[in-house]
Chains A and B, each alone.
Chain A
Amino acid sequence: MIPPQFDYHAPGSLEEALGLLGSLDDAKVMSGGQSLLPMLKLRLATPANIVDIGRIPGLDSIGEEGGYLRIGALVTETALEENATVAARYPILLDTAKVIADPLVRNRATICGNVAHGDPANDHPATMLALRAQMVATGPDGERTIGVDDFFHGLFMTALAEGEILTEIRIPAPGGVGGGGADGAHHGGAYLKLERKVGDYAVAGVAVQLALGDDGKVTQAGVGLTNLGMAPIRASAAEEVLTGARLVERGGLRGAFSKVRDAIARAPDADEVIAAAAQAAADATDPVADRRGSVEYKRNMARVLTGRAIAKALARAGG
Chain B
Amino acid sequence: MARHNVTVTVNGEAHSREVDSRLLLVHLIRDELALTGTHIGCDTTHCGACTVLVDGVPTKSCTVLAVQADGAEIGTVEGLADANGMSALQEGFMQEHGLQCGFCTPGMLMTGTALLAANANPSEAEIREAISGNLCRCTGYVNIVKAVQYAAAKTAADGAGEDN
Contacts and interface: CB of A to CB of B under 8 A. Distances in A.
Interface stretch (B9-17, B40-48, B76-84, B91-99): B40-48
Interface in B78-136: 111, 129-130, 132-134
Nearest to B131: A103
A309 B107 CA distance: 35
Given A5-B22, A108-B59, A54 B130 contact: no
Nearest to A48: B1
Interface string A91-102: 000000000011
A140 interface: no
A50 B64 CA distance: 13
Contacts of A4: 22
Interface in A51-89: 52, 54, 78
A33 B111 CA distance: 20
Contacts of A34: 45, 63
Nearest to B2: A7
B133 A54 contact: no
Given A101-B133, A199-B132, A3 B22 contact: yes
A236 B62 CA distance: 41
* Interface magnitude class on chain B: 20 to 34
Contacts of A104: 48, 51, 58-60, 111, 133-134
Interface in A8-35: 8, 10, 33-34
Contacts of B43: 1, 38, 41-42
A76 B111 CA distance: 17
A72 to B, nearest CB: 18
A5 B20 contact: yes
B21 A50 contact: yes
B68 interface: yes
B35 interface: no
A203 to B, nearest CB: 18
Interface size class of A (residues with CB under 8 A): 20 to 34
B153 interface: no
A103 to B, nearest CB: 5
Contacts of A5: 1, 20-22
A107 interface: yes
Contacts of A102: 46, 48, 132-133
Contacts of B48: 102, 104
Classify the interface of chain A: helix, strand, loop or mixed.
Answer: loop
A264 B39 CA distance: 51
Interface in B20-76: 20-22, 24, 43-46, 48, 51, 57-60, 62-65, 67-68, 70
A195 to B, nearest CB: 11
A33 B65 contact: yes
Contacts of B1: 5-7
A152 to B, nearest CB: 24
Contacts of A198: 132-133
B95 to A, nearest CB: 25
A2 interface: yes
B58 A6 contact: no
Given A8-B21, A50-B21, A108 B64 contact: yes
A37 interface: yes
Nearest to A200: B46
Contacts of B44: 38, 41-42
A33 B63 contact: yes
A107 B57 contact: yes
B133 A105 contact: yes
A10 B2 CA distance: 13
Nearest to A198: B132
A52 B68 contact: yes
Given A41-B24, A101-B45, A102-B48, 7 more contacts: A5-B20, A6-B22, A8-B22, A37-B65, A42-B44, A78-B57, A104-B133
| Closest 5 pairs (CB-CB, A-B) | A102-B133, A8-B21, A104-B133, A1-B43, A198-B132
